[in-house]
Amino acid sequence: MSDFIPGLGVVSQVVVVVAAFSALIFVHELGHYLAAVLTGVRVERFFIGFDVFGLALKKECKGTVYGIGILPLGGYCALAGQNDDPRKERQTGAPDELQSKPLWARALVFGGGVVMNFIFGFLVLVAAYMYGIPFIPAALGALDPTGPAAVHGLKPGDRILSVDGKPVESFEEAAEAIALSGAGGEVEIEVSRALPDAPVEREKLAFRVKGRASSLRGNLNTIGAEPARSRIIAGIVDDPAFDRSLKGKLAAGDEILAVNGVELPENMGHLLPGMLENKPGGMVDLTIRDGRDDTVRDVRAPLETYGEWDMGMRVGVSILNVMRDGPADRAGFRKGDLVVACQRPRDDEPLRFAKVKDFQDIVNESALRCVKVNFTRDGKELAALVTPRFLINSADVDPETDTLLGVIGVMEGDSGFRVDRVVPESPSDGIMSAGDYLTGLNDKPLPVGMSLREMVEDASSEKVRYYIRRESENGGARAPFEGVVDANLLVELAPRILEEYRRPMIGVDLAQGPVVAVEPGSFADRELGGLQTLQGGRLAMIQYSPDLASVTIGLAFPDGKGGNAVKRLTADTPESIVDAPLAAGLRSRLPVSLKTAEEVIPLSFAPAVAAAGRKWVDLSLMVYRVIHKLIVRTLPLDAIGGPVQLFRIIKIADDRGFAYFLYIVALISVNLGVCNLLPFPVLDGGHLVFLLIEWLIGRPPPLAVREAAQWVGIVCLLTLMLTVTGFDIFYLFTGAG
């Protein structure tokens, strides 16, 4: 949008939102107006915007007052003899009053606004498709290695063809279909994948993927996948060191064609981190297509180094929250405790850590085995024993997946646990197969109502006996194992935690705590001032110079006013780290972000009409799908949005161009029409319901009934509007969603 209102930023977005909303209201009210004129109903007032303080521009013509109000957030079409408040209706019996018209005419007048919204939305969609709507293809980019997509076998580069049998063309459509399946919902995903020996050819594959709740607004269902990235630079990291070194070399809009002489495939920008992560402190040779004049040039640019090594600072780990009835809660931990060390059975003495991850790794390695944890509370150092476990209610872990055996599947009641996939290099690899059913363990059938992980945890030891039902090669079931119904195979497996599934498992939310100790003779002791300088500070940042010669750390100290003051300390990076940065755990990246991959395919008139028709139907039904999900509570109420969400949508349109803005206007127009058809008395749908009742019983509903229904409708709508606006404000200030 800023293309046609340049240089106004937020002001332009406000102007465009108001203009778009006013245009949609005008279209809606124009529908009522045209239907009234067509049926001979007199229009008393036709206004766009509200007449506040009598300052509207007005003009009377042939008995109708036309006006433009100074508050451009609505509009209305006042018809003779009609009022939204039944008590204020004044009919004189004149033939040009609404109530004097037959039922079909009144239905046409009340439905005229909705019809116009539908027609307008369809026409705008046609224009958008002809202009060329930019869309993000449904190709997978980077995957969360522990997320459902990766766990169930999807790979970067896969292109989603359908979700639960519904074809999808864009990543947004795929994400919407997955989100509406409900947090933790299972979806069938069909993808096309390039063949290893013939990248041009693709094969179709189907996966059953059980999602998990996202951390976004509404805890929508997600599979842990990002869209494919383009090669086009979206921005440069906000760091003065790189601002200077990259100035004149890289800029937003430039396209990275090759990295160190190796071509970066188009729409495969997610490969860039893997191509550069093993060169900390180094430089990279890039082939760039300039985003301004399309010239191609070679650029040598520094890489940003990130990561930490053991500087000798020992920190406490702050407990921000304790999950009720979790292992930490049962062990006696409280919010505000500061963990300072822990000791596993094999350790000779308590281990102090340098960061939260060190503590998490120690705990995760010790799943199902008791760990001694040292912590401070009220100035005293205490100790407690805790047994880490998988947290069944954690949004990070699929409750139907057993990450101790390495099998992915679903509990199917009395049938047992259906194995859909076996994780490579897990205890079950080479022993169990997709299609097997686990039916018992340790001489007992699987109890109904528990997840497999709970059962494995309860039975865990060095070896656990598992009973499996597997179809024989001729299609018949083998003879059942004696003592366990429908089991025919017996295996013994030693449960263990797989590296890719390691999660915090004592039921606490953690944060990096302050420095509590410094190793004598360490880098922190020699170069950073030792415990006297560092004690009580929380590590806020660590930054390396582009050549890795120096390192700057930021420590946040309480300022006594409820905030923090950051103290920066800079020192030469030790030669041992400069000489072997990879061994020290450092990695590198190009200090830029890449745009998502987008495709723009302008259509001629006939294909645009067909595409607009399909999208119009989908947008119309989407409202009802969302309402259904809200009613059955697979979609929480805070997933829907109000005015702030509208501004966010407009911001997306601003970033993606005029055609996408047209698409958003069409979406809102269709949604406005569908929502006005809902059977609330104050909406057009409510009026149509009253007309239906009048047709069925032969007379209008009693005034008392209409008045009561009107108030109920007003209360419901106001409650909904206040609720979604409240969620908007909450998420605006908390930064979520």
CA distances from 193 to 27, 159, 196, 206, 227 (A): 45, 7, 9, 11, 15
Nearest alpha-carbon partner for 495 in 526, 524, 525, 452 = 452
Measured CA to CA, the distance from residue 93 to residue 40 in angstroms comes to 14
Phi-psi region of 297 (alpha: psi -120 to 50; beta: other; left: phi over 0): beta
Measured CA to CA, the distance from residue 75 to residue 69 in angstroms comes to 8
**Selected catalytic residue, list 29, 97, 169, 255:** 29
Measured CA to CA, the distance from residue 580 to residue 78 in angstroms comes to 78
Spatial contact of 510 and 317, defined as CB atoms under 8 Å apart? yes
Phi-psi region of 93 (alpha: psi -120 to 50; beta: other; left: phi over 0): left
Spatial contact of 83 and 66, defined as CB atoms under 8 Å apart? no
Q: Which amino acid is at 439?
A: T
Q: Where are the alpha helices (DSSP H) in 581-702?
A: 605-631, 643-656, 658-676, 684-697
Spatial contact of 111 and 35, defined as CB atoms under 8 Å apart? yes
Beta bridge partners of 269: none
Measured CA to CA, the distance from residue 346 to residue 349 in angstroms comes to 9
Measured CA to CA, the distance from residue 386 to residue 507 in angstroms comes to 10
Per 3-state DSSP, what percentage of the chain is helix, strand, and coil (rounded to 5)? Answer: 35, 30, 35
Question: Which stretches of 494-603 are assigned E, i.e. beta strand?
Answer: 508-518, 538-544, 550-558, 564-572, 587-589, 592-596, 599-600
Active site (annotated) includes residue 173: no
Residue with tokens 């010790």: 366
Environment class of residue 242 by beta-carbon count within 10 Å: exposed (0-12), middle (13-18) or buried (19+)?
buried
To the nearest 10°, report the CA torsion of 128, 130, 132, 133: 30
Q: How many CB atoms lie within 10 A of CB 408?
A: 26
Measured CA to CA, the distance from residue 79 to residue 64 in angstroms comes to 10
Query: Which residues are CB-contacts of 427 (< 8 A; sequence separation ≥ 6)?
Result: 404, 405, 406, 493, 494, 495, 496
Spatial contact of 142 and 156, defined as CB atoms under 8 Å apart? yes
Length of the chain: 737
Measured CA to CA, the distance from residue 340 to residue 334 in angstroms comes to 14
Nearest alpha-carbon partner for 222 in 325, 156, 153, 144 = 144
CA 224 to mean position of chain CA atoms:
9
Spatial contact of 392 and 453, defined as CB atoms under 8 Å apart? yes
Q: Is 127 helix (H, G, I), strand (E, B) or coil?
A: helix
Q: Is 541 helix (H, G, I), strand (E, B) or coil?
A: strand
CA distances from 625 to 203, 632, 683 (A): 32, 11, 20
Measured CA to CA, the distance from residue 290 to residue 730 in angstroms comes to 41
**DSSP annotation string for 237-285:** -S-HHHHHHHTTT--TT-EEEEETTEE--TT-GGGHHHHHTT-TT-EEE
Phi-psi region of 200 (alpha: psi -120 to 50; beta: other; left: phi over 0): alpha
To the nearest 10°, report the CA torsion of 598, 599, 600, 605: -140
Active-site residue numbers? 29
